[in-house]
Amino acid sequence: QVQLVESGGGLVQAGDSLRLSCAASGRTFSSYTMGWFRQAPGKEREFVATINWSGRTSYYADSVKGRFTVSRDNAKNAVFLQMNSLKPEDTAVYYCAAGSRLTVTTAATDYPYWGQGTQVTVSS
């Protein structure tokens, strides 16, 4: 089992950058595929990015491809989401999630462990 705590959210202007962090507890963090999801007010939770256990494979939603970068540091039990060129439509609560799939996956149902979320607000 793993517990996840996100941080790094905030209020920024369009075009700015933010780096989200997700700290994980548990000795088996390096075995998990990690994902980032987001949920805007009145909308369903959507996939943002995922990275496999080794960090060698990642995958992004089309809406963030080229602007966001997911990475992980298994020695520090952490996963990160670097968000550049932020847009107002990126405004949402961002969640990190952990799953035991051996490959990257975009399905929220493949991630049984979730953090509490961190708010990102991008003003125009």
The tens digit of pLDDT for each residue in 58-102 reads 999 999 999 999 999 999 999 999 999 999 999 999 999 999 888
Confidence (pLDDT) at 90? 98
The pLDDT value recorded for residue 89 is 97
- pLDDT tier for residue 28 given thresholds of 50, 70 and 90: confident
Residue 87, amino acid = K
Report the pLDDT averaged over residues 4-31.
95
Beta pairing, strands 46-51 & 18-24: unpaired
**pLDDT given for residue 109 in this prediction:** 95
User: Smallest Cα–Cα separation from 15: which of 60, 62, 67, 66?
Assistant: 67
pLDDT at 38: 98
User: What is the model's pLDDT at position 58?
Assistant: 97
Token pair 């994902």 is found at 35
Which pLDDT value is given to residue 103? 86
Distance CA 37, CA 68 (A): 12
pLDDT recorded at residue 10: 97
Strand bridging mode 68-73 / 58-60:
unpaired
For residue 39, give the nearest of 124, 116, 123 by alpha carbon: 116
Q: How is the chain split among helix, strand and coil, in percent rounded to 5? A: 10, 50, 45
